[in-house]
Structure formats: structure tokens, C-alpha cells
Amino acid sequence: MPGSGTDKTKRWIETPAPVVILVEPQLGDNIGATARAMANFGLSRLRLVKPRDGWPNPRAWVAASGADRVLDQAVLFETLDAAIADLTFVLATTARAHDQAKPVVSPEQAAGLMAPKVAAGEGVGVVFGRERYGLENHEVSLADIILTLPVNPAFASLNLAQAVLVVGYEWHKLTSGGALPFAMPQKSLAATREQLFAFFSNLERELERVEYFRPADKRDTMLINLRNIFHRMAPTRQDIQTLQGVIMAIAEGRKGPARGGVLDGAQAEMLRTLLAEHATGQAPTDRAPARGLARLLRRNPTEAERLLWDALTKDRRFAGHGFKRQTPIGRHIADLVSFPLRLVIDLAPETEGAAAVEERAERRAWLVERGYEVVPVAAGDVRQDVVAVLDALDRTVAAREASSQSIVK
């Protein structure tokens, strides 16, 4: 298996390329790092002019990190003249202006100039200077062209291997056509519209269950926004299958609002009966417990509550009235309430004990005393004909609005 990028199972690229010439390099480590940079981009011909610490240098092989082939084939010269004697086109790299009448090019431009000459079989070389002060004037004068980089003028000095790396990169990018060594694998085809429609339907259904679409009059806009999110993603078939699994895992596997609470409809009714009989449906002075109780009831709706709330939030007649479910009002928790209308819907179960009936009457009286209109609705009526219940509620809302307008006048 390859490590961080070195793969000895693949063929070493050996194509015609420029020669890299290092003039009096000071450190074996820099020579090794240069060899590594060369190997990265398909450069294999290295010439050394009088390395300060002699040659071969063991430190070079350590720093090369496996680019041994470049170092093993490196050729040693006593002078720069000798190192470039067989070349027909030479570029001198420098970060300083040497006041010489020579064309100045970037690495990208240099690659474009070198490529046709190398392809024609000419000898081409790029000369790099010493780590401490680069190339001297007379050395630059031996070149045809000056190669420099668009660096920060206040800090233009590059590490020797870094300079070789930039030039090597531009060379390899040009000669390889910029092809990347790998691409994202196409493991799944694009999702079909049929698959997306099924996904959206499932997503919408589960979001309805947790009452995500609030306020109700924004429901259509929210749905469009959700659909556009997934369309922009251009998901694959596997993406949609994964997302379907995530949604169902949340909906079916989590206890809470994602599956309608921890209780089923019958158990939720038993919870309300128990609270009513013990008068714990009243909120204490401390509001934190009231909010906690309201949240518990909201997450565990009865079948009648679920049916009524679902129908009410989808009915445009009630959009904009701000109806909320299982919300504290002072000492009590209302089944449904519209604070703008000061209207409370009190949903009564089909069977109730005496204590529960008494507690419900007390709650209604308390709300009426504080200016709320209480609309009693039987759970049985909701299950039998929820449309009729909403029609009656609509008439009450209209009368409430008319009454409010007359008071203002």
C-alpha cells in the first residue's frame, strides 16, 4: 500500500524534461529536498556544481524521502560553464533584478518556452543559485532568459527546494495537460425524479408529524425551500437512500416528538386524565415546571389532538391567527390557544371522571374571567367529523374578530 503519496507499484515517469542545475548548494538536506520536489513533477536529471559539503552527502538521501533515483543519477561539475556546456537553452532563476537586458518570465511562461525545445530534442536547463545569496551576475549572464516568481517583494527569498518545486509544478502541469492523478469515484448514478419525489413525500410527512411547518401560511414556502436545498445538491441515488434511512431512523427510533412522543394516543389520554384528577394540570407559580409539563403534553398528543391540530394547521382559514398547542396560560395549560384572538379551544375526552370534569369547569371559568373565550370541543366530534368542527370554529373566530373590531370603533 502506498504511504502519504509514494507508490512504488506505479511506473516512474521518464519523459524528456529540463535539467535542474544547482550552483554551489550549501546543505545536503536542501539537495535531498530538491530531489524530492523534482520527483514529484517528473524531473529526474540533476546536476550539481561544487556542493559546499562535498558529494555524495548522506543527508541528501535522508531528506529525499525516497527520491533516491534522482540522487543516484546526479552528475557533479566543477563549474557552471561545464554544467551547461551541452545545453542549447538555459534559464537562470533569481529573485533580484540584475540589470541585464534579458527577457524576464514567470514559471508558467518558462514552461511554455521550454516545452517545444525539449520536445524537439534540445538540451534545456534551469539554473538555481546558492541558498544564501543566489546566482551572481556573471552566472546570470550565461543564461538566455531570467526566470522569477511573483513573490512578496519585501520577502522574496525562497528555500531552494521550494523554488524548484514551483518551476517543476508549472512544467508538469503544462506537459501533463493539468490532469489530476485521481478523481471522485462515481459510485452511484444521479437520483431520478421519481426517487426524489418519494423522498420529499416522506420528508414532508415526518415534518408534519413534528409540527415543523409553523406558521401554517408559510408551509408552501418552507416546502419549496427544502426541495431547492436538495436539488442544488444534485444527490445520487445512494445519497437519497442514505437520507431516507436517516429520516426514518430519527422518526422511528427516537423517543420524543419525532415519533409523536413516548406514549400512544390511548396512553396520552390516560396521562391527561391522571393530571386532571389530581389537579396537576394547573401551572404552579414557578413557570419552569409549567413549561416542562406543557412540553410533555405537546410531545404526547392524543389521537383527537393530533387530528384536530393537523386539520387546523392545513386549513388556510386559520392561518395568521397564531394558534398554539398545549401552551401555559397563567395557572393552566390550554389545549389550543390563539393569543391574538384570546380564544381557547378546550378539547374534552369522551369519558371523564368527576374530578376531571370539575377541574375542567374550573379552568374554563378561570380563563373566561380573564377575557378568553373558551370553545369546548368533544374528542368524539373531532374523530367523527373534523371538518364540521373546523366550520364551527371558523364561525366563532369570525364572530370574535367582528366583536374586536366593534370594540375598537
Q: In this predicted model, what pLDDT tens digit does every residue of 321-364 receive, in sequence order?
A: 889 988 888 878 888 999 988 999 998 888 877 877 888 888 89
pTM of structure: 0.55
The mean pLDDT value for 181-203 works out to 87
Among 95, 93, 92, residue whose Cα is nearest residue 156: 95
Q: Tell me, what's the pLDDT at 403?
A: 74
Quick one: average pLDDT of 130-140? Answer: 92
pLDDT of res. 288: 47
Distance of CA 238 to the CA centre of its chain: 18
CA angle 43, 48, 51 (to 5 degrees): 135
pLDDT given for residue 47 in this prediction: 97
Residue 227 has pLDDT above 90, yes or no: yes
- The band of 100, judged by pLDDT with boundaries at 50, 70 and 90, is confident
pLDDT for 109 equals 96
Domain boundaries, the chain: 19-175, 193-258, 262-408
Average pLDDT over residues 6-27: 81
d(CA 406, CA 409): 5
Confidence of residue 2 (pLDDT cuts 50, 70, 90): very low
Least Cα distance to 344 among 313, 366, 317 occurs for 366
- In this prediction, residue 264 carries a pLDDT of 65
Buried b (16+ CB within 10 A) or exposed e, 112-121: ebbbebbeee
Q: How confident is the model at residue 10 (pLDDT cuts 50, 70, 90)?
A: low
pLDDT at 265: 65
Residues in the chain: 409
Which of 40-54, 79-93, 281-295 has the lowest average pLDDT?
281-295
- Give the other-Cβ count within 10 Å of 327's Cβ: 19
Question: Average pLDDT over the chain, rounded to whole?
Answer: 85
Class in CATH terms, 262-408: alpha beta
The CATH architecture annotation of domain 19-175 reads 3-Layer(aba) Sandwich (3.40)
In whole angstroms, give the CA distance from residue 235 to residue 231.
7
- 58-72, 114-128, 216-230, 257-271: least confident range: 257-271
Indicate the range of 78-82, 165-169, 367-371 predicted with least confidence. 367-371
Residues 6+ apart with CB under 8 A from 58: 28
**pLDDT for residue 3 is more than 90:** no
Higher pLDDT, 284 or 81: 81
Higher pLDDT, 21 or 293: 21
- Could you report the per-residue pLDDT of 253-292, keeping only the tens digit for each? 644 444 445 666 677 777 777 666 555 445 444 444 456 6
pLDDT recorded at residue 292: 66
Angle between helices 287-299 and 265-277 (to 10 degrees): 150
pLDDT number for residue 82: 96
Query: For the ranges 149-163, 205-219, 237-251, 274-288, which has the lowest average pLDDT?
Result: 274-288
What is residue 249's predicted lDDT score, i.e. its pLDDT? 79
Question: What percent of the chain shows pLDDT beyond 90?
Answer: 50
Q: What is the predicted pLDDT for the residue at 320?
A: 85
pLDDT for residue 1 is more than 50: no
User: Cα separations (Å) of 10 from 13, 59, 101, 170, 175?
Assistant: 9, 26, 45, 22, 19
Query: What pLDDT is recorded for position 392?
Result: 92
Identify the residue whose cell numbers are 437520507: 243
Radius of gyration of the chain, Cα coordinates, nearest whole angstrom: 40
pLDDT tier, 226 (very low <50, low <70, confident <90, very high otherwise): very high
